[in-house]
């Protein structure tokens, strides 16, 4: 027997509350679930006379995937939708709102094989030098941002949220909170530590000027003396990698890809790199082994007399 019928919107709200309050998922994850389940409700409302979840079949769910495909949604977006629907139905089945789970047989779509965008050593060096060559915004802060992104491999959101109290002795490492609210330690290069120390001197002066002693916990600030957001960091990277700078546009995530590629190319164990990146699954980290193989093939083709055709 299963529980008394509840409307799909009611179950969606309960599911989202569970993910936030019990599983402690991030706001971004909750927002993604909300968008996908809203889409599920929109599509099924046009085909279902009964608004209860128990009436939704596997055929209905496949029809939803078909609608998304006709809307030219990317395979990654469609698979995210499928994952959200699967988790939602699994929750409802577990707690007795439905007697069977039609989403169990809902298959994901095939993703195209994509090599993550990464920078060469020369491109990284050129970008890290841009704040000194063309001080478009705040030289010491921007150099520290670039060096820490590259030497730590952390996500842009993690760097934006990093607090002064998270920094280790000598500023050579930091304890940060990543996806799933999991803590991990990241490490900074000697150049990164030097740039960070230079920036922190100016940071202190800025706070004394703008905040009248008010304590700001985040390490990286904007020129107004308030915390720099992930969006702000993306803007900074885009300025220095645009026509004003290197003219090779990249995102903050390119530093993370480059970090992983460099570590694996230099022989680091994939499980060590997984830990440093904060990946929950090693399969995510193993994407970068394809990058290093691609590099080897390219080097071979360019260097060996019979390497290319």
List residues with catalytic annotation.
155, 179, 253, 256, 279, 288
Token pair for 303: 């260097």
What gap in Å lies between CA 219 and CA 33, rounded to an integer? 31
Token pair for 257: 């890809």
Task: Give me the count of residues in the chain.
Answer: 309
Q: What is the DSSP string of 290-304?
A: HHHHHHHHHHHHHHS
In sign, the C-alpha dihedral spanning 180, 181, 184, 189 is: positive
Q: What is the DSSP letter of 173?
A: E
> CB-based burial of residue 174 (10 Å sphere; 0-12 exposed, 13-18 middle, 19+ buried)?
buried
What gap in Å lies between CA 132 and CA 116, rounded to an integer? 28
Total Cβ atoms within 10 A of residue 264: 21
């Amino acid at each position: 027997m299963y529980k008394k019928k509840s409307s799909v919107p009611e179950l969606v709200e309960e599911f989202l509350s569970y993910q936030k309050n019990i599983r402690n998922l991030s706001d971004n994850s909750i927002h993604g679930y909300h968008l996908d389940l809203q889409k599920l409700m929109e599509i099924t409302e046009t085909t279902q006379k009964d608004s209860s979840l128990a009436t939704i079949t596997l055929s209905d769910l496949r029809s939803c995937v078909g609608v998304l495909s006709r809307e030219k949604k990317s395979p990654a977006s469609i698979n995210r939708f499928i994952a959200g629907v699967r988790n939602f139905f699994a929750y409802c089945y577990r707690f007795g709102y439905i007697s069977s789970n039609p989403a169990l047989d809902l298959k994901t779509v095939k993703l195209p094989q994509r090599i993550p965008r990464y920078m060469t050593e020369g491109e990284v060096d050129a970008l890290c030098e841009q704040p000194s060559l063309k001080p478009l915004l705040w030289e010491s802060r921007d150099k520290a941002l670039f060096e820490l992104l590259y030497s730590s491999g952390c996500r842009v959101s993690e760097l934006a949220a990093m607090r002064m109290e998270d920094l280790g002795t000598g500023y050579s490492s930091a304890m940060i909170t990543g996806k799933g609210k999991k803590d991990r330690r990241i490490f900074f290069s000697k150049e990164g530590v030097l740039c960070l120390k230079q920036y922190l001197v100016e940071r202190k002066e800025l706070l004394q000027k703008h905040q009248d002693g008010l304590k700001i916990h985040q390490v990286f600030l904007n020129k107004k003396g308030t915390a720099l957001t992930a969006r702000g960091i993306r803007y900074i990277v885009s300025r220095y990698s645009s026509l004003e700078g290197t003219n090779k546009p990249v995102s903050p995530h390119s530093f993370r890809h480059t970090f992983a590629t460099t570590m694996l190319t230099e022989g680091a164990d994939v499980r060590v790199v997984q830990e440093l990146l904060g990946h929950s699954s090693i399969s995510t980290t193993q994407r970068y082994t394809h990058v290093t193989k691609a590099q080897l093939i390219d080097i071979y083709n360019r260097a060996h007399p019979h390497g290319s055709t």
